[in-house]
Structure 1
Amino acid sequence: MRVSLRKRAPEPDSTGLVGPARVDPRTKALTKRLRPGDVAVIDHLDLDRVSAEALLACAPAAVLNAARSTSGRYPNLGPDILVSGGVPLVDDLGPDVMTVPDGHVLRVVDGCVYDGETLVAEGVTQTPETVATSTEEARAGLSVQLESFAANTMDYLRRERDLLLDGIGVPPISTVIDGRQVLIVVRGYHYKEDLVTLRPYIREYRPVLIGVDGGADAILEAGWKPDLIVGDMDSVSDRALMCGAEVVVHAYRDGRAPGLARVEQLGVAHVVFPATGTSEDVAMLLADDKGAELIVAVGTHATLVEFLDKGRSGMASTFLTRLRIGSKLVDAKGVSRLYRHRISNVQLTLLVLAGLLALGVALASTAAGQTLLALIGARIDDFTSWVSGLFGWLS
């Protein structure tokens, strides 16, 4: 039973968890201003892995979800990440919790949320046991999701067959990709760790760096500058957009582009790419169409559960895009496992010279070594005298 906002309730026996509320129905937007000790108030059905990891990184006092963190459609990964990370998760609180004014101090006691002494909403506190049970029950929903996946795939193929088969609709860009390797960065699963392991690869091969929305900021944070920024511009910073990278605004097929006004307001040169599907799919199709030799993906979606986590509407495009680019696509983890740093000729020469110098110092420190060096020096003098004499005779 839910209690409406502002209804008086008995004072709880314990103070519970206390913190200022940070309220936003869009989890991605909320994590940008969430601070340690805040109470995150979200409305996120089937909490996905990326959102949960972003919340966990902010170290909130608790996460209050107006919706059900696991609806039973599929075994989503988010609730387990939060609960295993030690963040209290209260589920299914209903819409009343979203009306709490931002910044109000909330108390959370046994699944009940209090604003002062007023009971705002009641929900279910998740535990490792309840999360495990919900996940197991949700596995039964996979068959329904697979049917939806097949239907969405056919629908997407009908609408985007010209783009998928012939590249029709890909806009011209100035960044040279033909014959080069491309690194596409999405702020997704383990993107920070993958970028660290790929440092030697990036330093040696100098691939074209493409940031998908917030992935552009990830590239900047790692110490590089993106060559291209692709996306609907909902999570990329102004700093990234103004860094000098070429900008490709992802638009809907009907031409609507929610992020276009922001880019124009900043005065950033850009092109528009109307296409169905996700921005990471658009980035891959763009790289492939422009002649990329290899496409390395960081933080993108690869498994069925990850496709489902991204949302059912985006699954078909993600699946078909990977079929389209075929063997060009390599996951970042595969590159880090297969890649072996090659020693350049300059590095090899410096290594040999360092070894010879160390040997000379060692020889010079002993009597026998000094005698040997003196003999070598005498031989060199004899050789130079012979060469000088030879050139003198010829002249």
Structure 2
Amino acid sequence: MWHDKAVALPFRRKKEAPLVDDHAGEARVDPRTKNLTKRLRAGEVAIIDHSDIDRVSAEALVACNPLVVVNAAKSTSGRYPNLGPGILNAAGVPLVDDCGPEVMEVGEGTRVRVTETGEVYAGEELVATGTVQTAETIAANQEDARAGMNVQLKAFATNTMEYVEREQDLIFDGVGVPDVKTSFEGRHVLVVVRGYRYKEDLAALRPYIREYRPIMIGVDGGADAILEEGYKLDMVVGDMDSVSDKALTCGAEIVVHAYRDGRAPGSKRVDELGVDHVVFPCTGTSEDVAMLLADDKGAKLIVALGTHNTLIEFLDKGRPGMASTFLTRLAVGGKLIDAKGVSQLYRSRISNWQIFALLLAGCIAIGAAMASTATGRATFGLVSAWFGDILRWFGSFF
């Protein structure tokens, strides 16, 4: 069979249609998953080249509701127990794995058919054959990957020490932090990264944002998340590869994250848009740049939302430099409050129906109390006469 019940849902959309049609759709092809999800539509075939599919990418794919995800690479390489394949499986999105680089040659928009055994056809031509992932195979891959975590932990520790040697002046003394126009002194700062549950967490912080009016910093795509919620964006920090032109031209200050040698590929894009910007060379990640900048410029409190703070998340990010985030958090110290997952901290157990029932019961109680008094009965009489006049007025038109 194609897969277990957890991933069979997409192929039940058209029960009356032939099986071949249920597996066929237009192809959207891109080696970078986050670029693909910007144009992927429901019912299309997503073709990616993504080793170790991470959680954020998997959730973005699920939101697009593709017919099937075809991966040229291994979705779990064994480097660490990544969460992406399990998320796709649980959401009912089939995954065909390890199809090889040939599948990336399928043309954008080509009609693609994927069989139950993992064969990928472009028209009538067989272009690739992969492995269909099920709940059982994903669990087995995860178990094998856990055995390699010792190696990853040692590598992470080594990267951390190397980063300390390269960037200790920046992290602990602020050497190399550029001057910016935004005034941080004594202000709260909210750093928004497009990480796990960032939309829910940002919505949960609405009362805090309304009361304290923090400086809003969007890290790459986090800038668009701020604008989508209707907030004023004060600063965009990042390498500018996943932020929209709208965010870059909204009037926010732009800080381009550059390599330590000064190379800043993101500067070309903002130059083409005619937007002023400053460059911040740093070996770490863009979220590190945002935190170090806010700390150096005198922010009173830094609230981080959607950032990475566990070893699995660092490995999910797919960058050795993620060790820098660990050190950045140590340097920022007591100023930093991690708001990731705040939407999961407390959820009201009172439903809307319960609130309605409570209000209705209160109205009935008030009505009963008023009906027991002469003043209340007189009020009801006046209201009844008023409604009677209105009804007669409407009736005069018919």
The answer, yes or no, to whether TM exceeds 0.5 is: yes
User: Aligned to 2:125, which of 118, 122, 125?
Assistant: 118
Distance 2:20 2:134 in 1: 19
Code of the aligned partner of 2:109: G
User: Aligned to 2:102, which of 96, 99, 108?
Assistant: 96
What is residue 67 of structure 1 aligned with on the other side?
73
Per-residue CA deviation, residues 45-87 of structure 1 (Å, 9 max, x unaligned), is 1111111111111111111100000011100011111111111
Compute the displacement of 1:368 (Å).
8.4
Secondary structure in structure 1 of the residue aligned to 2:315? helix
Distance 1:91 1:73 in 2: 16
What is residue 202 of structure 1 aligned with on the other side?
209
The 5 Å alignment of 1:1-395 reads 14-15=20-21, 17-109=23-115, 110-333=117-340
Aligned residues: 336
Compute the displacement of 1:316 (Å).
0.9
Distance 1:255 1:17 in 2: 48
Compute the displacement of 1:231 (Å).
0.3
Distance 2:282 2:319 in 1: 17
Q: 1:218 to 1:243 in 2, by over 3 A?
A: same
Code of the aligned partner of 2:80: Y
Code of the aligned partner of 1:306: E
Compute the displacement of 1:226 (Å).
1.1
Per-residue CA deviation, residues 14-61 of structure 1 (Å, 9 max, x unaligned), is 455111111111111111111111111111111111111111111111
Per-residue CA deviation, residues 218-249 of structure 1 (Å, 9 max, x unaligned), is 00000112101000000000000111100000
Contact 1:187 / 1:218 at 8 angstroms: preserved in 2? yes
Distance 2:100 2:310 in 1: 31
Distance 2:222 2:319 in 1: 22
Per-residue CA deviation, residues 112-159 of structure 1 (Å, 9 max, x unaligned), is 100111111001011111111111111111000011101111111111
Percentage of identical aligned residues:
71
Code of the aligned partner of 2:26: P
Secondary structure in structure 2 of the residue aligned to 1:323? helix
Distance 1:250 1:137 in 2: 36
Distance 1:338 1:30 in 2: 32
Compute the displacement of 1:314 (Å).
2.6
Per-residue CA deviation, residues 354-391 of structure 1 (Å, 9 max, x unaligned), is xxxxxxxx99x97789xxxxxxxxxxxxxxxxxxxxxx
Runs of 4+ deviating beyond 2 Å:
12-16, 333-339, 365-369
Contact 1:194 / 1:333 at 8 angstroms: preserved in 2? yes
Contact 2:234 / 2:252 at 8 angstroms: preserved in 1? yes
Contact 2:54 / 2:316 at 8 angstroms: preserved in 1? yes
What is residue 361 of structure 2 aligned with on the other side?
none
Secondary structure in structure 2 of the residue aligned to 1:193? helix
What is residue 6 of structure 2 aligned with on the other side?
none
| Structure 1: tracts of 5 or more residues without a match | 1-11, 340-361, 370-395
Code of the aligned partner of 2:105: T
Compute the displacement of 1:295 (Å).
1.1
Report the more deviating stretch, 302-311 or 14-23.
Answer: 14-23
Distance 1:368 1:20 in 2: 72
TM-score, normalising length: structure 2: 0.81
Which of 1 and 2 has greater Rg?
A: 1
Distance 2:78 2:321 in 1: 19
Report the more deviating stretch, 326-335 or 291-300.
Answer: 326-335
What is residue 354 of structure 1 aligned with on the other side?
none
